[in-house]
Amino acid sequence: MIWQREYYGAMKTNWFLTIIALCFTMSFIVAQYVAAGVFGFFGVVTAMQILYLKNVGKKLTLVNDKKRSRMFKGGKSEWELKFENTGFPIWNGQLRLHFHDAVKPLNNKDMSHTKLIEIVVPLTIGYKEIVTVKVPIEGQKRGLSRLKNLELTIPHLFGEGSVLLLHQPLLRMEQMVYPNIYTLKDNRKPSPLKPGDYEYKHSLFQDLFSPIGTRDYQAGDQFHHIHWKASARMQQLQTKVFTQVANESVLLVLNVVNHYSIISDLEERIEEVASFVDYFYREGIPFSLTVNVRSFGAVPYLHLPVGDGQKHRQQAMELLSVLSNNELTVPFNRMLMHLDTHENLPMTVIIFTHDSQELDKYIKKWSKQTQVDVRLSNSLGGDVKWQQPSLLSR
């Protein structure tokens, strides 16, 4: 069943029909045929009204396809509801939507003092007609907004009363608001001591399949690197110049726990991590992300494996968007222990935390094989105080 039906004022209509039937009978008995005709007319209209209320909306369907729209705070989007009606037409219906307050209506007339926002829009749809209702909205804060429920109120055509239709299936439309991001300066930290695929002018390694030019031959240049066509043209030996490449990858580690509760500056931390995610995406640097929030599976915490590209950025932003103050967390030291024993560390590890005491032994160990960047914040309340990142390299 698509709709759950509830009637309001139906008893009054039934009593009115009963009274009309009695009046019609009495008028017919006393031979008042004009009055009987009038009462008969009103009786037919009332009976049709009852029939209409009992059947209207039964063949109204909502195209409930799964759809998720994504935006940043202040971005514009819309709830798009497509209805198909093969039954009785609906006039002056009122569509009532409830959704989470990560987004808000653009008209700003619907005030809400809870985490749910309610908005009412009109709906009129005829027989065998398809109508699309669009509700413009704006991103209000980081999070995921779902349509919680959908109600349609159809009023009595000629009197009091109405029928209320409650949509039973789960609504599959969502609006996701990403964390705010800000521009970062150069944060690339490739390893010049390992070959890779990323251009880095200070690297000791060259990509022999990517020559970028030539230079004059110097003593010690390898014979097979001589560019013979360029040498013939320049009348002087020319050596090929190759792109210098290095291995570059990043692991982002976010600690959201302060003692036994979620850190007070969760939003600021998430925005900083999101800014790094966006920076690495634009630079084409592979990255992975871990957060000490309980997860079910082989990895007991939220873990996004290493990757790059638009889809990988989207997965990371979605993971950060749905974090809340009600998460079931994992002790930070346990996550570090699991990373130390089960993960192959990339070239750079960036740790976002409020306390570095429990990191000491891991920093000493990891800094022998990779670069460790610890970014501290004051999560004991008040303003966020960023400290200069400490870079421990080999």
pLDDT tens digits for range 214-255: 667 777 766 666 767 777 777 777 776 555 445 578 899 999
Q: What per-residue confidence (pLDDT) applies to 298?
A: 84
Lowest mean pLDDT among 27-36, 280-289, 362-371, 378-387: 378-387
| Count of other CB atoms within 10 angstroms of residue 4 | 11
Q: Can you tell me the mean pLDDT for 363-390?
A: 63
Query: Is the pLDDT at 104 greater than 70, yes or no?
Result: yes
Spatial CA neighbour of 200 closest among 188, 209, 212: 188
Percent of the chain with pLDDT over 70: 78
Q: Can you tell me the mean pLDDT for 360-373?
A: 86
Looking at residue 383, its amino acid is D
pLDDT band at residue 138 under the 50/70/90 scheme: very high
Query: Is the pLDDT at 385 greater than 50, yes or no?
Result: no
pLDDT band at residue 84 under the 50/70/90 scheme: very high
pLDDT band at residue 38 under the 50/70/90 scheme: confident
Cα–Cα distance between 117 and 100 in angstroms, integer? 6
Provide the token pair at 300. 């007991």
Instruction: Specify the residue for token string 């709906």.
Output: 123
Helices (H), the chain: 10-29, 33-55, 228-234, 266-283, 310-321, 332-342, 360-366
Q: What per-residue confidence (pLDDT) applies to 369?
A: 79
Mean pLDDT across the chain = 80
Q: What per-residue confidence (pLDDT) applies to 37?
A: 76
245 DSSP β-pair partners:
199, 205
Spatial CA neighbour of 307 closest among 296, 315, 295: 315
Within its chain, how far is the Cα of 304 from the centroid?
A: 16
Confirm if 171 and 147 have CB atoms less than 8 A apart. yes
Exposure letters 285-324 (e unless 16+ CB within 10 A, then b): bbbbbbbbbeeeeebebbbbeeeeeeebbebbbebbbebe
Q: Can you tell me the mean pLDDT for 19-27?
A: 76
Q: What per-residue confidence (pLDDT) applies to 40?
A: 72
Cα–Cα distance between 112 and 104 in angstroms, integer? 10
Cα–Cα distance between 212 and 13 in angstroms, integer? 87
Cα–Cα distance between 268 and 375 in angstroms, integer? 12
SS3 content of the chain, % helix, strand, coil (to 5): 25, 40, 35
Query: Is the pLDDT at 99 greater than 90, yes or no?
Result: yes
Query: Is the pLDDT at 258 greater than 60, yes or no?
Result: yes
Query: Is the pLDDT at 9 greater than 70, yes or no?
Result: no
